[in-house]
């Protein structure tokens, strides 16, 4: 091992391991920065799970919990607290704002502490208190949005409540990416006076329990079999699945972004290894001649590279630690829990990635060095037996596929991503290789330098293809995140008609419907459409009771919660039928349903199926007579399921409406809330902006991770330059020996690199446009307008990157005296 | 007094390579014996098979037929690694193109065979050897900063540092000018005599060959 370390140090000093080491550092840093970040989140979610729940066992339902549950908690000597959450409008004298109200009983939270302060931005402290009767606490966002301070009055429904503190931390707020509305916390006892809880109000009722571990467990055991539809039990053993789900998916996504750096680093490792082998063929032949046996050489090589792998991985892990701090800083707003320090596991996983990369992409070709014939010392034309590329990189590809699947944490997704990488590499590679061969053969080039430069493109087609490939993939990510992302957003926004509704009103009670529509007229606004809305639960398909077990996550959530159903004689004109027909007189008599295409697909509904729904404790069944396609971007009121009036007309109904509010009439929202305190006005443009801001934060994190990929891409460029450096130096020496000037030598190199840069840039522009088109067509389903700037930016960036390479190449070829280059040849 | 046994013997040694349908004979039926302490020159024109013979005697290549014994050990009864182990114990090498490792300085190049053999005190021994060949001031210089003559001296130091019983030299002055070549050869014979090493030297230079005790001439792959 000592000799291996000595050899490692000597190779390092000679500069022959730098590409390999840097590639490993980048790959490990990329993976560990995400790993550390995910670990901190995970720890925050599991380590302090009871704090995140606010109790040891938390029951959540879309209806109030019955008394016997409270009794069971009491008999087990558990402390109990209750909470209700719902969205509503809060008002000041000047404006109205959507808020997420949390009304809590004494004792809340049973685990963890609230933190409050008396002025926004001032130091906060933990508290055991709660808002007093008639008082509310608001979070910093709400204080900012309303410009309210402690002591100000807010109106909520029919109540006037005094702001008595700014809430800075609520342990069980969760780490959802979509906590749209700011928080308002109040006493549970004050809710009734607000008059906000009416028909159609979407309220979440929570019962929190905490106590001795055995008591909590015994209650959990009692409660678990009694959990019904629309109810969930959360405990230390059943942590909040929706939070987990969101974060896991985000982590999965960012993890896969990190794999792009790994794949490019793998290419750099493979190239760096080729360079190392070329440089060491003679050395290993001499060592064999000096009596080193093949196993000895292989052991030395393996030890040397294992030591390199461990050291580079450790440095990579340290860089990853710094990287995760940047991610936390970039998307800190999304995380509303304090993050503990990360554990060592991500570092170990990162090191494992480093070792796997080295074993996969460096070791198989390196093993060739052990096979160098000793006779090479006498006959330099002898090299190691040629290895098949399949053996050399088959191991690496298999290792990489394993890594991707591991990072994706799901075989199917991992396989898709791996296949995507392979397909992108294959397509870019084939196009680049063909173009280079064709250019190499083009005889039309005039002038010696261009002819020589173009001929080199074809002659070094393999090495040049790798350069084009690496650069094109790096540039595609850059173009995607700059031009294409902006284009997609702009196209999407342009799809929304300028006067599309931008406000929704929900919770309109039947007796308020006419006065509310009149209120529009008296305020000089057109009367909006309004639709009845009934809460109902999906219970059976063709007579078979629905069991949520068999569904995937999204479908399960849909099945478990209550649906908003509507009823009408005729389907809205803006709904497009994709199967079946509109309601007719017969349907109106015997009952019929119209369902949305997407949800029908998710839940396996077909035309003619009979669905059974439970509304207000009573069931009704009806067949599906039509399937509708909805344009969600229209911002109009849309329903997944519409029934004929006879089916739902007698159920407890509220109304929903949407309207366009011009900016000049912004105060209308406040007036409407004042006049109808129980209705909720949702400002869609504000929500969209918030969603865009949140997405922008995630994109920033992905962009940061892509920096590792870009750095790896640059490293591939450098490595491929190194791989051809000796050849370039010799060629330049021959040219100069034959009388070429330095300028001519440089010009032929410039011609070669210019074509490579342009080709890579063009491929990247095609790649970014193709991905943009795919996203537009498949994900957002709108026509994609190509951004013509991409065609300029791609080639320019390509030229810029290879310009850097040209400088390095020029230094090498012109920095070596021709005589020295020819003597070494 | 007993006659010592030869350190190297070759008998019936032939080497041919495939050349289309007809095999091309490079060496045919070579027999020779080299006694301990003897200096033998193998001479011949380009393509006469000198380097191939040297490669076979060192076990760097395998013959088409025939055998070689090295210090009593049948060389081709051993596998590749067995032959390497035997070389490590017995042989020193000097090449026409020096074959110094470019990433190692002079001292490290000389230390390398000792390090491979796991010998303690490699640094001291290598430094002493380099001083002996007159490169005490050049210990930390890299091959590319040394002249051809200096590089071949480093190669000599590397060959002698393990005190080999047998030194094989392949055109050791082939890449050097006459004066520098003469200096290097003087040094080689001095070291050879000092240490009582057996020398097998391949050259096409008759003057150099005549400094050896015996000359084996090759022509068309045969001893003539």
Half-sphere exposure of A503 (CA within 13 A, CB side): 23
What pLDDT is stored for residue B157 in this prediction?
Answer: 94
Q: If you measure CA to CA, which chain A residue comes closest to B92?
A: A290
Query: Global pTM?
Result: 0.68
| List of chain B residues whose C-beta atoms are within 8 Å of the C-beta of residue A294 | 80-81, 84
Band of pLDDT at residue B11, cut at 50, 70 and 90:
very high
CB contact under 8 Å between A377 and B51, yes or no, is: no
Beta bridge partners of A117: A166
Mean pLDDT within B131-138 = 93
| CB-based contact A196:A65 (threshold 8 Å) | no
Band of pLDDT at residue A330, cut at 50, 70 and 90:
confident
Which tokens is A781 given? 């389903």
Mutation site, A371, A375, A378, A824, interface B, largest B CB count within 10 A? A378
Q: Which domains does chain B have, with CATH numbers?
A: 8-223 (3.40.50.300)
What pLDDT is stored for residue A796 in this prediction?
Answer: 92
CB contact under 8 Å between B95 and A14, yes or no, is: no
Band of pLDDT at residue A633, cut at 50, 70 and 90:
low
Please, where are the H alpha helices in A738-824?
Answer: 742-774, 789-815, 818-824
Mean pLDDT within A760-780 = 82
Band of pLDDT at residue A177, cut at 50, 70 and 90:
very low
| A673 vs B125: which has the higher pLDDT | B125
Q: How many other CB atoms are found less than 10 A from the CB of residue A634?
A: 16
Residue A552 has pLDDT above 80, yes or no: no
Mean pLDDT within B192-210 = 90
CB contact under 8 Å between B95 and A378, yes or no, is: yes
Which tokens is A100 given? 């997420």
Kindly state whether B114 is in contact with chain A, defined as any CB-CB distance less than 8 angstroms.
no
| List of chain A residues whose C-beta atoms are within 8 Å of the C-beta of residue B99 | 282, 285-286, 289, 377
What pLDDT is stored for residue B60 in this prediction?
Answer: 82
| List of chain A residues whose C-beta atoms are within 8 Å of the C-beta of residue B87 | 289-291
What pLDDT is stored for residue B212 in this prediction?
Answer: 92
Residue A249 has pLDDT above 70, yes or no: no
Residue A464 CB partners (closer than 8 Å, separation 6+): A432, A436, A457, A720, A752, A756
Mean pLDDT within B190-199 = 91
What pLDDT is stored for residue B39 in this prediction?
Answer: 93
Name the burial class of residue A126, with classes exposed (0-12), middle (13-18) and buried (19+) by CB atoms within 10 angstroms of its CB. Answer: exposed
| B67 vs A139: which has the higher pLDDT | B67
Phi and psi, residue B64, nearest 5°: -75, -35
What pLDDT is stored for residue A96 in this prediction?
Answer: 83
The DSSP 8-state label assigned to residue B146 in this structure reads S
| CB-based contact B62:B78 (threshold 8 Å) | no
Size of interface A-B (CB pairs under 8 A): 80
CB contact under 8 Å between A377 and B93, yes or no, is: yes
| List of chain A residues whose C-beta atoms are within 8 Å of the C-beta of residue B58 | 289, 374
Residue B1 has pLDDT above 70, yes or no: no
Mean pLDDT within B202-221 = 90
What single string gives the DSSP state of each residue in A503-543? EEEEEE-HHHHHHHHHHHHHTT-PPPPEEEEEEEEEEEETT
Report the candidate in A473, A508, A501, A570 with the shortest Cα–Cα distance to residue A771: A473
Band of pLDDT at residue B140, cut at 50, 70 and 90:
very high
Distance between CA atoms of residues A136 and A150, nearest Å: 10
Band of pLDDT at residue A164, cut at 50, 70 and 90:
very high
Band of pLDDT at residue A493, cut at 50, 70 and 90:
low
What pLDDT is stored for residue A243 in this prediction?
Answer: 46
> How far does B167 lie from chain A, in Å, by closest CA?
12
Distance between CA atoms of residues A745 and A733, nearest Å: 9
| A725 vs B139: which has the higher pLDDT | B139
Distance between CA atoms of residues B91 and B34, nearest Å: 14
| List of chain A residues whose C-beta atoms are within 8 Å of the C-beta of residue B61 | 373, 375
Instruction: Scan residues 32-91 of B and list those with Cβ closer than 8 Å to A.
Output: 51, 54-55, 58, 60-61, 80-81, 84-89, 91
Distance between CA atoms of residues A528 and A505, nearest Å: 10
- Mean pLDDT in chain A? 81
Which tokens is A715 given? 């490293």
Mean pLDDT within A188-202 = 84
Beta bridge partners of A125: A116
The sign of the CA dihedral A596, A598, A601, A604 is negative
Q: If you measure CA to CA, which chain A residue comes closest to B109?
A: A283
| A267 vs A47: which has the higher pLDDT | A267
The DSSP 8-state label assigned to residue A229 in this structure reads T
CB contact under 8 Å between B60 and A377, yes or no, is: yes
Q: Collect all residues from A whose CB is shorter than 8 A from any CB in B.
A: 3, 6, 10-11, 13-14, 16, 279, 282-283, 285-296, 373-375, 377-380, 820
Report the candidate in A305, A311, A403, A414 with the shortest Cα–Cα distance to residue A349: A403
């Amino acid at each position: 091992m000592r000799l291996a370390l000595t050899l490692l140090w000597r190779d390092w000093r000679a500069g022959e391991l730098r590409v390999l080491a840097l590639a490993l550092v980048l790959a490990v840093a990329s993976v560990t920065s995400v790993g550390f970040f995910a670990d901190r989140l995970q720890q925050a979610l599991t380590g302090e799970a009871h704090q995140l729940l606010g109790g040891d066992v938390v029951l959540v339902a879309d209806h109030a919990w019955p008394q016997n549950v409270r009794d069971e908690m009491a008999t087990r000597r558990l402390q109990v607290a209750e909470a209700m959450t719902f969205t509503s409008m809060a008002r000041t004298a000047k404006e109205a704002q959507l808020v997420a109200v949390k009304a809590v009983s004494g004792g809340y939270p049973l685990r963890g502490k609230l933190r409050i302060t008396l002025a926004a931005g001032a130091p906060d402290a933990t508290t055991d208190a709660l808002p007093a009767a008639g008082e509310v606490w608001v979070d910093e966002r709400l204080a900012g949005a309303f410009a309210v301070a402690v002591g100000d009055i807010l109106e909520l429904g029919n109540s006037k409540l005094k702001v008595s503190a700014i809430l800075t931390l609520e342990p069980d707020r969760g780490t959802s990416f979509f906590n749209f509305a700011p928080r308002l916390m109040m006493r549970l006892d004050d809710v009734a006076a607000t008059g906000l809880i009416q028909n159609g109000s979407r309220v979440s009722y929570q019962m929190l329990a905490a106590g001795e571990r055995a008591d909590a467990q015994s209650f959990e055991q009692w409660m678990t079999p009694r959990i019904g539809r629309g109810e969930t039990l959360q405990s230390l053993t059943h942590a909040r699945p929706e939070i987990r789900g969101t974060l896991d998916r985000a982590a999965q996504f960012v993890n896969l972004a990190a794999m792009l750096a790994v794949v490019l680093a793998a290419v750099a490792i493979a190239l760096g290894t080729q360079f190392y082998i070329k440089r060491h063929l003679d050395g290993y032949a001499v060592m064999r001649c000096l009596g080193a046996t093949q196993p000895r050489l292989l052991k030395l090589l393996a030890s040397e590279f294992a030591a390199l792998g461990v050291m580079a991985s450790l440095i990579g892990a340290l860089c990853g630690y710094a990287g995760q701090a940047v991610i936390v800083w970039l998307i800190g707003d999304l995380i509303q829990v304090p993050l503990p320090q990360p554990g060592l596991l991500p570092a170990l996983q990162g090191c494992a990635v480093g070792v796997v990369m080295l074993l996969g992409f460096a070791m198989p070709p390196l093993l060739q060095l052990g096979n160098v014939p000793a006779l090479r010392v006498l006959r330099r034309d002898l090299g190691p037996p040629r290895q098949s590329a399949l053996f050399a990189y088959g191991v690496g590809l298999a290792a990489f596929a394993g890594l991707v699947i591991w990072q994706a944490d799901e075989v199917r997704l991992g396989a898709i991503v791996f296949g995507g990488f392979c397909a992108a590499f294959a397509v870019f590679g084939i196009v680049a290789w063909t173009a280079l061969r064709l250019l190499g053969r083009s005889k039309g080039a005039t002038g010696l330098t261009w002819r020589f430069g173009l001929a080199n493109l074809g002659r070094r087609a393999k090495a040049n293809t790798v350069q084009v490939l690496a650069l094109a993939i790096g540039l595609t990510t850059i173009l995607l995140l700059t031009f294409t992302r902006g284009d997609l957003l702009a196209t999407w926004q342009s799809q929304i008609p300028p006067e599309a509704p931008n406000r929704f009103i929900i919770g309109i009670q039947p007796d308020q419907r006419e006065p509310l529509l009149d209120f529009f007229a008296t305020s000089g606004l057109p009367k909006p459409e309004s639709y009845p809305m009934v809460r109902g639960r999906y219970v059976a398909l063709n007579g078979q009771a629905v069991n949520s077990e068999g569904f995937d996550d999204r479908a399960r959530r849909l099945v478990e919660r209550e649906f908003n159903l509507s009823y009408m004689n005729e389907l809205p004109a803006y709904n497009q039928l994709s199967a079946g027909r509109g309601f007719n007189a017969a349907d109106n008599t015997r009952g019929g349903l119209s369902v949305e295409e997407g949800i029908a697909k998710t839940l396996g509904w077909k035309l003619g199926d009979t669905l059974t729904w439970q509304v207000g404790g009573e069931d009704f069944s009806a067949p599906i007579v039509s399937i509708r396609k909805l344009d969600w971007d229209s911002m109009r009121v849309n329903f997944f399921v519409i029934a004929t009036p006879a089916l739902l007309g007698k159920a407890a109904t509220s109304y929903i409406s949407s309207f366009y509010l011009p900016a000049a009439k912004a105060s209308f929202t406040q007036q409407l809330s004042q006049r109808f305190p129980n209705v909720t006005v949702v400002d869609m443009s504000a929500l969209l902006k918030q969603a865009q801001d949140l997405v922008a934060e995630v994109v920033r994190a992905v962009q940061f991770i892509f920096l590792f990929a870009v750095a790896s891409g640059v490293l591939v460029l450098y490595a491929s330059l190194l791989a051809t450096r000796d050849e370039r130096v010799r060629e330049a020496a021959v040219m100069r020996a034959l009388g070429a000037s330095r300028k001519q030598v440089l010009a032929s190199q410039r011609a070669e690199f210019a074509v490579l840069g342009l080709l890579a840039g063009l491929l990247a522009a095609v790649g970014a446009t193709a991905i943009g088109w795919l996203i537009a067509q498949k994900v957002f389903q709108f026509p994609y307008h190509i951004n013509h700037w991409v065609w300029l930016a791609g080639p320019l960036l390509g030229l810029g990157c290879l310009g850097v390479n040209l400088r390095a190449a020029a230094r090498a070829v012109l920095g070596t005296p021709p005589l020295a280059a020819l003597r070494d040849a | 007094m007993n006659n010592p046994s030869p350190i190297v013997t070759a008998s019936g040694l032939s080497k041919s390579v495939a050349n289309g349908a007809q095999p091309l004979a490079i060496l045919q039926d070579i027999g020779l014996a080299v006694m301990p302490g003897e200096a033998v020159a193998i001479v011949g024109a380009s393509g006469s098979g000198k380097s191939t013979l040297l490669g076979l005697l060192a076990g760097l290549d395998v013959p088409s037929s025939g055998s070689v014994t090295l210090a009593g050990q049948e060389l081709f009864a051993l596998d590749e690694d067995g032959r390497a182990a035997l070389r490590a114990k017995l042989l020193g090498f000097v090449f026409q193109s020096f074959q110094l490792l470019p990433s190692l300085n002079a001292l490290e190049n000389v230390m390398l065979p000792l390090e491979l053999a796991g010998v303690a005190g490699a640094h001291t021994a290598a430094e002493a050897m380099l001083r002996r060949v007159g490169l005490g001031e050049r210990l930390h210089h890299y091959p590319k900063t040394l002249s051809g003559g200096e590089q071949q001296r480093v190669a000599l130091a590397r060959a002698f540092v393990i005190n080999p019983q047998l030194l094989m030299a392949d055109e050791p002055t082939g890449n050097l000018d006459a004066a520098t070549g003469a200096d290097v050869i003087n040094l080689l014979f001095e070291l050879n005599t000092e240490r009582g090493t057996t020398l097998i030297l391949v050259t096409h230079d008759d003057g150099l060959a005549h400094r050896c005790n015996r000359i084996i001439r090759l022509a068309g792959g045969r001893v003539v």
